């Protein structure tokens, strides 16, 4: 646990010593704790009872009450109350994170909305997507929003489960309560309560002369 300081009780010299930078236009509520090497700049607002742990950078962002941010970058976006972000998350380009969400380590969210109680626990890219409430986005999921010429949007309903290492190719719509098997590449719409699996069947070939083992 990093050492935390109540930003409202720190004088300027204490902030400088801890390498904490607060912009002149930033609004900060009560009982806000920050760690070392934190930068809060631009038109940012941090509401009551938030925790901003060390090495976080917040720029032009709205952070609602009781939010915890750990070593993450948030720009031009908003985080609603009781959500957690990080470590090492990147939330940018007008993204909106709902209430009671979990945005975990090495997750990037760009120009997207994440509904209340949804979670992206780790190693995920969400770009140009609208995700509903109470969704689970598994590890290694990629929202494929760019075809080389234009950006496209993915729309995901409520109570959707997306298994790990899935690719969601936009434009696409995934309806409420859909379930996507891990390792799937999805390029067709999924209706409500449908189960989608899109991967080749595994085959194990015997007698294979492994060139890697041969080289060793």
Catalytic residue among 55, 122, 174, 180: 122
Helix (H), strand (E) at residue 85: strand 84-85
Is 40 in contact with 46 (CB distance < 8 Å)?
yes
Which residues are CB-contacts of 22 (< 8 A; sequence separation ≥ 6)? Answer: 7, 15, 28, 40, 41
> Which backbone phi and psi does 212 adopt, to 5 degrees?
-65, -45
Alpha-carbon distance 66 to 46, whole Å? 10
Under DSSP, the state recorded for 7 is G
Virtual torsion, Cα 22, 27, 28, 30, nearest 10 deg? 150
Is residue 31 part of the annotated active site? The answer reads no
Alpha-carbon distance 185 to 119, whole Å? 20
Catalytic residue list = 122
């Amino acid at each position: 646990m990093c050492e935390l300081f109540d930003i409202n009780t720190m004088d300027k010299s204490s902030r400088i010593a801890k390498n904490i930078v607060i912009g002149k236009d930033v609004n900060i509520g009560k009982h806000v704790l920050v760690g070392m090497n934190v930068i809060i700049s631009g038109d940012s607002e941090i509401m009551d009872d938030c925790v901003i742990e060390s090495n976080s950078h917040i720029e032009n962002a709205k952070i609602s009450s009781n939010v915890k941010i750990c070593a993450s970058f948030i720009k031009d976006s908003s985080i609603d109350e009781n959500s957690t972000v990080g470590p090492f998350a990147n939330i940018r380009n007008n993204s909106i994170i709902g209430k009671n969400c979990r945005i975990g380590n090495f997750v990037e969210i760009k120009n997207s909305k994440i509904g209340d109680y949804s979670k992206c626990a780790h190693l995920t890219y969400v770009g140009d997507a609208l995700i509903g409430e109470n969704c689970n986005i598994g590890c290694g999921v990629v929202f494929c929003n760019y075809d080389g010429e234009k950006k496209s949007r993915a729309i995901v309903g409520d109570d959707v489960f997306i298994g790990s290492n899935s690719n969601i190719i936009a434009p696409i719509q995934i309806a409420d309560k859909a379930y996507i098997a891990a390792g799937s590449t999805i390029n067709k719409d999924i209706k409500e309560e449908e189960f989608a699996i899109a991967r080749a069947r595994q085959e194990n070939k015997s007698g294979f002369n492994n060139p890697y083992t041969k080289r060793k």
